[in-house]
């Protein structure tokens, strides 16, 4: 299990999809799972977090399903606060092979999110609130992972999507025993959606 962290728009979803295709893993995006429920739009549109108990239940179901089907997983955007992180390390620390933080300057993120144009990307206040929520939480989450000796890698998320994917592939090959790229197709092809099933 690999955890992808990063500010909104840093490419967690983009890279999570690409990596799951390359390694034959499951990409579990909590943001996508939340949008698929059709609920919580008022919360996500203003950049706040959906209640922990809902998110933990959603992700538990998805993690269990992927495990039963024999897939390793890439967690995109989960855990996002200390309650979720404590739950994860208390219940499955031994499965977490590493955490990767995608680093992109905010000036570039504003541009990326404006281009993406999802409903929660339209207001600068909402974007800034998501940045603030991330920054408040990441410093509390990382020590919980460090206590369990989970490797934490900081990766430059600037560059073409393919360049960033290549950096991530090298890190995953190093920190996940036996991880072997099954495909060099960084962004092509249809990528199976692994959520909301
Ligand atoms: P998410 O769906 O996780 O979305 P995100 O953080 O905004 O974006 P991401 O980092 O995945 O960026 P992407 O690849 O799409 O969260 C949405 C909301 O759900 C949260 O605000 C919150 O309310 C809620 N939520 C999520 N997780 C939660 C949790 N655990 N608990 C409670 N609530 C939770 O990339 C963005 C854009 O950049 C795309 O258009 C992409 O094409 C582009 N891009 C990507 N890589 C690029 C590159 N290298 N160069 C140029 N552009 C690039």
**pLDDT tens digits along 92-115:** 999 999 999 999 999 999 999 999
Task: Let me know if residue 195 belongs to a domain.
Answer: no
Q: Cβ < 6 Å from ligand 1: which residues?
A: 6, 8-14, 29-31, 34, 43-44, 47-50, 55, 77-78, 80, 84, 112, 115-116, 120, 130, 159-161, 164
Task: Let me know if residue 25 belongs to a domain.
Answer: yes
CA of residue 19 to ligand 1 center, whole Å: 15
* Residue that has been written with the tokens 């955007």 in this structure: 77
CATH number for position 101 = 3.40.50.300
Residues 6+ apart with CB under 8 A from 146: 152
For ligand 1, what atom is nearest to the CA of residue 14? 14
Task: Let me know if residue 99 belongs to a domain.
Answer: yes
Task: Let me know if residue 80 belongs to a domain.
Answer: yes
Task: Let me know if residue 160 belongs to a domain.
Answer: yes
Task: Let me know if residue 188 belongs to a domain.
Answer: no
Q: At what angle do helices 124-147 and 82-92 cross, to 10 degrees?
A: 30
Report whether 101 contacts 153 (CB < 8 A): yes
- The domain in which residue 108 lies consists of 2-175
Task: Let me know if residue 154 belongs to a domain.
Answer: yes
Task: Let me know if residue 71 belongs to a domain.
Answer: yes
Over 50: is that where the pLDDT of 189 sits? no
Q: Look at the chain and report how many structural domains it folds into.
A: 1
Q: Which amino acid residue places its CA nearest to atom 12 of ligand 1?
A: 9
* Residue that has been written with the tokens 């909590």 in this structure: 30
* Residue that has been written with the tokens 């890698």 in this structure: 153
Q: Specify the pTM.
A: 0.91
The predicted structure's pLDDT at residue 135: 97
């Amino acid at each position: 299990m690999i955890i992808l962290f990063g500010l909104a728009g840093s490419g967690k979803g983009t890279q999570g999809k690409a990596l799951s295709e390359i390694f034959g893993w499951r990409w579990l995006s909590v943001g996508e799972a939340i949008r698929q429920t059709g609920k919580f739009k008022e919360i996500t549109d203003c950049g706040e977090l959906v209640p922990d108990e809902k998110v933990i239940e959603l992700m538990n179901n998805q993690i269990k399903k992927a495990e039963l089907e024999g897939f390793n997983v890439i967690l995109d955007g989960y855990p996002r606060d200390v309650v979720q992180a404590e739950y994860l390390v208390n219940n499955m620390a031994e499965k977490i092979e590493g955490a990767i933080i995608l680093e992109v300057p905010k000036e570039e993120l504003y541009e990326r999110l404006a281009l993406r144009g999802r409903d929660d990307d339209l207001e600068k206040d909402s974007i800034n609130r998501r940045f603030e929520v991330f920054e408040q939480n990441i410093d509390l989450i990382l020590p919980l992972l460090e206590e369990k000796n989970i490797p934490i890698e900081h990766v430059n998320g600037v560059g073409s999507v393919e360049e960033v994917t290549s950096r991530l592939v090298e890190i995953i090959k190093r920190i996940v025993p036996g991880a072997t790229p099954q495909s060099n197709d960084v962004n092509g092809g249809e990528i199976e959606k692994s959520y909301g099933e």
